[in-house]
Amino acid sequence: MSLHPALRAWPRDRRDALGIALWTSDEIAAATGGIASGAFQCAGVEIDSRDVRSGDLFVALTGESSDGHRFVSQAFANGAAAALVSERIEGPHILVPDTSEALARLAAAARSRAQAVRIGVTGSVGKTGVKEAVFAALDRGSRGAAHRSVRSYNNHVGVPLSLARMPARSRFGVFEMGMNHAGEIAGLTEHVRPHVAVVTTIAPAHIENLGSEEAIADAKAEIFGALETGGTAVIPADSVHYDRLLVHAREAGANVVAFGRAVHAQARLIDAIPSANGGSLVTADIAGTRLCYSVAEPGEHWIMNSLAVMAAVQAAGGDLAAAGLALAEMGGLKGRGARHRIAVTGGHALLIDESYNANPASMRATLRQLGQTPATRRVAVLGSMKELGDFAPGFHAQLAEPLAEAHVDYAVLVGDEMLSLARELGKPGAMPLAAPFAFAHCEGPGEAIAALEEFGLTGGDAVLVKGSNSVGLGRLVAHFVDHGR
């Protein structure tokens, strides 16, 4: 039977010859140097038996306090197709000497076979949001051929896991890289070997371990170390650490694209005005091309984020028009800007969920956005900012000014570190140019829930919930969202 002329003329791509399964037993064995118990195929890769879905490869990682081999039976009960193990088990498996090393080898095999353009994203603030936006832009432009790390899988386990999950047919891969100490991103970027490396901003996150913002900038710049030849570094033009990042990028042989308001930025903001949906209408010059696009997410920080996204998409060979559409449609992420309309006395209140992470820069940015949010009353529930070390008292006390500038009517301060802010707010004449407001200090989320309920939310209120994840303010968010439906 002869093919229809239209089918014969259909554009061919080498990816068309690739298998549909994520991994076969032969491919896993070849990548890891392991021994397969038999033939099987896998649709995904998972390291937590509770999250295993039908068809997954369960990787039984071992650590100081846990051993994944104890949960192999649970993984199979949840539908795992096979397990990657370092000891013999019943059921389909690949036997290797070390499962962590095997996961790294599987990640390297995934990186090699896909030949996708890889984008690495790091920064003190905004890396997850930028990663999601770059992915949304490239996925839209490639009609579903983009891949990214999910959640905050950005450490020594999450990055190779995210790579191992990348389908062979992917055209783009977007990976987030985080760190607590110097040297960590260097290891992660060796896994990813990005074609495009993005640094969103430099701020005093993890300063307890690194000692200074300059050291933080140096640590973030490790992402340039394993750039592919001819790769691009995307860096913040308006940062006081721009020159430092520029030196690192050039030493790595990168093409440099700066984003921001500065005249030397190649992705430069020309103008931004508020849009009807609470976001912004942005006009920017992207390497000599003037673009106008909408950003659904509110706030000055998202205007800057959008420039980083556009620079990264262009450097990756993506579609800028698709990127503009993706930015216009993005919603807030859980714990990172998700907005909930909750039923309260007299109508509905807006709850802004920023409960996953906090540092001095992101606190100021989100409080500034709260101040620009239309509301009858503004409420801030602020949890402690962690990993600030000896700098913690000063950074917490300094939040008094942005709280006042946001015209907050009531603040709930949660955690021991927030005592410094409570003391600052309690000083006579602490804010001579601002109206005084009530506040409460709480030990944990349970007390904070009680304090907010006693205050009594009413229709038209806007509530910002922000703190480091370990404070547990996600519990407060869930309480009010569940009770306000």
Q: What is the mean pLDDT of residues 174-184?
A: 93
Residue 256 confidence (pLDDT) above 90: yes
Q: How far apart are CA 235 and CA 456, in angstroms?
A: 44
Q: How far apart are CA 154 and CA 129, in angstroms?
A: 13
300 shares its domain with 352: no
229 shares its domain with 311: yes
Residue at a domain's end among 283, 303, 329: 329
CB-based contact 471:383 (threshold 8 Å): yes
CATH code: domain of residue 146: 3.40.1190.10
Reported as a single tens digit per residue, the pLDDT across 232-255 is 999 999 999 999 999 999 999 999
CB-based contact 252:258 (threshold 8 Å): no
Reported as a single tens digit per residue, the pLDDT across 209-225 is 788 999 999 999 999 99
List CB contacts of 307: < 8 A, sequence separation 6 or more: 259, 260, 265, 267, 268, 269, 282, 284
Give the pLDDT of residue 337. 85
283 shares its domain with 211: yes
Q: How far apart are CA 31 and CA 108, in angstroms?
A: 8
CATH code: domain of residue 86: 3.40.1390.10
421 shares its domain with 311: no
Question: Which residue reads 């500065």 in tokens?
Answer: 262
CB-based contact 71:55 (threshold 8 Å): no
SS3 call for 66 = coil
244 shares its domain with 119: yes
Q: How far apart are CA 302 and CA 385, in angstroms?
A: 21
Reported as a single tens digit per residue, the pLDDT across 452-473 is 999 999 999 999 999 999 999 9
SS3 call for 213 = helix
Residue at a domain's end among 63, 97, 131: 97
Q: What is the mean pLDDT of residues 191-211?
A: 90
Residue 5 in any domain: the answer is no
- Whole-angstrom CA distances from 404 to 121, 333, 367, 400 are 33, 27, 9, 6
Give the pLDDT of residue 6. 62
Residue 172 confidence (pLDDT) above 70: yes
164 shares its domain with 40: no
Q: How many CB atoms lie within 10 A of CB 35?
A: 11
Give the pLDDT of residue 87. 95
- Sequence length of the chain is 485
Q: Which residues of 37-60 are buried (b: 16+ CB within 10 A; e: fewer)?
A: beebbbbbbbbebeebeebbbbbb
319 shares its domain with 466: no
Residue 449 in any domain: the answer is yes
| Average pLDDT of every residue of the chain | 92
- Whole-angstrom CA distances from 243 to 199, 227, 261 are 13, 19, 15
Helices 213-220 & 184-192 angle (0-180, nearest 10): 20
Residue 14 confidence (pLDDT) above 80: no
- Whole-angstrom CA distances from 104 to 92, 158, 169, 172 are 21, 10, 20, 20
> 23 lies in which domain range?
18-97
Residue 409 confidence (pLDDT) above 70: yes
433 shares its domain with 299: no
Question: Which residue reads 């905050």 in tokens?
Answer: 152
213 shares its domain with 300: yes
Residue 102 in any domain: the answer is no
145 shares its domain with 58: no
Name the token pair of 97: 């000497």
Q: How far apart are CA 25 and CA 94, in angstroms?
A: 8
378 shares its domain with 416: yes
| Widest Cα–Cα separation across the chain | 90
Q: What are phi and psi of 278, to 5 degrees?
A: 95, -10
CATH code: domain of residue 423: 3.90.190.20
pLDDT band at 12 (very low <50, low <70, confident <90, very high): low
Reported as a single tens digit per residue, the pLDDT across 321-376 is 999 999 999 887 788 888 999 999 999 999 999 998 898 988 998 999 999 899 99
Q: How far apart are CA 408 and CA 404, in angstroms?
A: 6
Specify the number of domains making up the chain: 3
319 shares its domain with 365: no
Beta strands in 177-320, from DSSP E residues, in sequence order? 196-199, 232-236, 255-260, 267-274, 280-286, 289-295
C-alpha 96 chain-centroid distance: 32
List CB contacts of 110: < 8 A, sequence separation 6 or more: 163, 164, 165, 166, 168
Helices 184-192 & 99-114 angle (0-180, nearest 10): 50
Residue 426 confidence (pLDDT) above 90: no
Q: What is the mean pLDDT of residues 132-152?
A: 94
CB-based contact 250:235 (threshold 8 Å): no
